Every structure is written in C-alpha cells, then in structure tokens.
Amino acid sequence: MKALAPAEINPLVPGFLADPFAAYRRLHQAGPVLWHPKLRLWLVAGHAAARQVVRNPVFLSAPAGPIVATLAARAGYVFPMLARSLGVVPFVLNPPAHPPVRRFAASILTGKPLAGYEPVMRALAVRLLGEARAAGGFDAAADFADRLPTLFMGHLLGVPEEEMPGLRRYTDDIAKLFNQLLHVREYRELDGRLGGGLELLERIAAERRRAPRDDAISRMVAARPEGGALSDAEIAAYCLMTFLVGSETTAALIGGAVRILLESPAHYAELRGERALLKPAVEEFLRCETPVQLLSRFASADAEAGGQRIAHGERMVVLLGAANRDPAAYPEPDRFDPRRDGAAHLAFGEAAHACIGATLARTEVRVALDAFLDLPPLRLRAPGRYGSYDWLRRLRQLPVEFA
Amino acid sequence: MAIESPRELTAENLRLWAAAYLAHLLDRPAAEIDLYRALSEFGLDSMDAVVMAGEMEEHFGVEIDPATFLREATLGELIAELAPLAGREGR
C-alpha cells in the first residue's frame, strides 16, 4: 500500500514556495515518502529519505532537455536555444553525458583560488550597500541580494561590467526555466531571451580567443577537456548556465538570510556584534531558507525509499526545503538557531549532483552578510515578494529602511 | 493538435474545444468526455497540462495556467472562470 500525500497539497502550483512550511509540517505528519495520486509522483519530505534518494544512483535526474524537446514537438515548436543551454546543465543530465559536463562546469568555478575572489566579493558588496545607503532605503532583494551574485559571476566569467545590464535583461526571471510546469508561451519567450544572452556571451568568447585575459571565459577558450576544445557557442552556453544557476541560487540565499535577520531582532543584534557566529549562521540560513527547495528524480529500476516501494519509471519530487525542516532531524525545525548542531542540511544536495559551487556560495553569502551587518540597523518596510518558481525560494522584492 | 472549432470565447465554444481536445488526447469519442469530472481525473500528466494550456491559449487568445489542469476544478468550473473574459480578450 502506498502512503498517500494529502491531495490538496500541491508543491507544483505557482506561489507554493512563498510559504510552504505549513504544508511541509503536514507532509511530515503523513510520512517521509508519499504518493501524490493527482500529480502521479512521489513527494519525498523526510530528511533521511531525501538523503537516501539523492545518494542512490538508481534515482536519476529528470532530463529537462529531452522533456522540453518532447513538449516543444507536441506543441509544434522547436526551442534550439533551450536545447543548447540545458545540454550543459549538470543537474539535469545523467550518465554518460553527466560526468564530463559536470567536470567542465566545476572547472569554471575552481579555475582560480577562492582566496583571490573574496576581496572582489567584499568590494562589490560594500559598493552596492554604499549606493543603497546613500539612497536612504533600498530593496534588499532587487538592489543587493540579486545584484551582488550577478556582478560577481560576471567578474568570475570575465563579462565586462558595461555588458552586465544587457546580460541581466536577457536573464531576468530566467530561473523559471527549471519550473516543472512552465507554459509553452513562456518557453517560447525564454528561448528568445536565451538566444540574446548566448549571442552576447559568444561575442565575448570570440574576443577572448583573440586576446585572452585572466578570467574564466579565457580559460574555457584555452581548455582541452576530454571531448576536445570547445566552440564559442559551447562556451557561451556554459557561461550562461553557470551565470544563471550560480547567481539565482546565491541571490535566493542572501535575500532569505536578510529577511530572517530583519524578522528576528535578537539574532540580528547578536550577529552584528559577534561576526564569528556568521559562519554557522550561514549553514542555518541554508537549512531554514534552502534556495533549491525541490529536485526532480525518476526511478530507473524498482527501488525503495523511506519504506515505500518505488516502481521503475515513477517520478519523484525531493522536497529539500521540507527535509531541512524535518522534526525527526531537527528539534523545533522552524526556529532559526545558528548554534544548532545535529544533522547536516541537504541544501546543496549530495553525491553525484552535489552543488559544485557550494564553497563559493558559502563564502559569497558570508561576505555579503558581513557587509550588510556593517550598515546601521535596518528594518523591513513591507513583506517580501517571492518569484513564482516551484524549485527556487527566492525573493524578488524586500524593501527595507534604516531604523 | 489543431482543433477545428469556433475561436470566439464563449462557454459553448470552450466546451466544444475541450471535449474535442480531450477526446483526441485520450482517444475516446467526444460524447464520452464528461466535462463535469475534476480535470485531475482525466489523468493528464504535467506535460499534457502544459501542452493543453498552450493549445487553449492559442485557440482562444486567453492566458491559462497549466496548473489549472492538475487542480480539483472541473472543466465546467474552468469555463465559468474564463467565460467572463469573453469579448474582452477574445480574438
């Protein structure tokens, strides 16, 4: 007998991630792995079960590229830019395509020692917050949490700053690309915008080919991975997807952390005074405000997870945000507590698809918050507004003012 | 799949189109499509829902969220939601 999820809980409807925590509590009461009869897939909410699923190679990633291509064909379209882009995103690939793509994507992020990046992150954070301070109040999501990771990723890749507004236009709201239920109309619109972004990056790759610099695009031009040298078009795709995945998730975490701080004055004051607490606090932000809330998997053979029999071919949605608030793993799971010890959170996933930018993200968020805590005390001016993504809990607006 | 039916957004045309579309998708006679069953009971998967929402938008020129087709709502209720848009956004 399959354990059933309450039918009215649907994590795939738009807006679910603006406040998913009451639903997660109900799922935890019902069981760690639950069959959703309407969605016809498994919801994995338990911490131990989620870890079991991400570690078990029988459960493969939902292949977004072929899924979007099938959908396009059924709707009578082709989305060539989406196909190009999704082909270089490691977390939607499976073996044999996955390992080389993942290795190459990781090499983009680790081409230079992290210590060299930290001063850049700090300078960018100080600059953005200086502008915000001069303006009196600001939007902690749009003016800070969003901009810092895009500017940093632009620096890492080697996108000149004057090209950044253009790239940001092409990539605004692009996180919806990984939604489970995206409209054909939205795929069409995204395909067009991705095309613009790819063209821009391809032009920069061609420039670096003529005159290399000390940046990731130049290193990609010079690289000779297993499959041989990459074309400018392939480099552009890697850049665009690294930019998207790296900056959207980091923006989500910075915004979520700022919101938690401004909603809990005691922690805000404590962290302003004791910066050594920032490092464990980042882990607790990752647990409470997990950016990637949902992973999509399917069973490549009959298997077992959380005491349920998963049949070959069945789909699963691993709710990382729920797993990170499982009362069986974390007492009082909804309480933010930077001094908490216990199970490691699953915010970065584990095993084959563990986040390749985890160290970079941890550093960037710590540096960002350190600079934020240097500002005079702030308070929320209005509740935040979340983007409508089903996989990413990410604020789009969070207006704040000086207290 | 292109459905040949009137494109003016009226409750009757929505009913005609949806019955024809689902009949084709589910390979059953249109007369057997019970529009008062919950949409989720037709067994559309998320890809079906995305494609159907796209086709419906193109046919009638309205915006429809694919999640609609995975809800408890019946097609009758969906039509009631969309009907007031008739003459406003219809082609």
- One DSSP character per residue, A149-214 reads HHHHHHHHHT--GGGHHHHHHHHTTGGGGG-SS--HHHHHHHHHHHHHHHHHHHHHHHHHHHS--S
Yes or no: say if A85 and A237 are a contact pair by the CB < 8 Å rule: yes
For chain A, domains (ranges, CATH) are 16-89+96-402 (1.10.630.10)
Q: What is the pLDDT along chain A (403 residues), one digit of tens a residue?
A: 899 999 889 898 878 999 999 999 999 999 999 999 878 899 999 999 999 999 999 999 999 999 999 988 888 899 999 999 999 999 999 999 999 999 999 999 998 899 999 999 999 999 999 999 988 889 999 999 999 999 999 999 999 999 999 999 999 989 999 998 888 889 999 999 999 999 999 999 999 999 999 999 999 999 999 889 999 999 999 999 999 999 999 999 999 999 999 999 999 999 999 999 999 999 999 999 999 999 999 999 999 999 999 999 999 999 999 999 999 999 999 999 999 988 999 999 999 999 999 999 999 999 999 999 999 999 999 999 999 899 999 999 999 999 8
Tokens of A9: 């809980």
Amino acid (1-letter code) at residue A398: L
Amino acid at A108: I
Q: What is the ipTM of this complex?
A: 0.72
Helix axes A164-171, A147-157, angle to 10 degrees: 120
Q: Which domains does chain B have, with CATH numbers?
A: 11-85 (1.10.1200.10)
Q: How far apart are CA A27 and CA A8, in angstroms?
A: 11
Q: Contact B65/A14, CB-based, under 8 Å?
A: yes
- In 3D space, the residue among A331, A322, A325, A302 whose CA is nearest the CA of residue A314 turns out to be A302
Among the partner-chain residues A8, A40, A74, the one whose CB lies closest to the CB of B51 is: A74
Closest CA to A57 of A86, A11, A98: A98
Residues of A with CB below 8 A from B46's CB? 12, 39, 180-181
* Minimal-distance CA residue of chain A relative to B42: A38
What whole-number distance in Å separates Cα of residue A358 and Cα of residue A65? 24
Task: From chain A, pick out residues whose CB is under 8 angstroms from the CB of B51.
Answer: 71, 74-75, 184
Task: Give A215's DSSP letter.
Answer: S
Q: Are B44 and B26 in contact (CB under 8 A)?
A: no
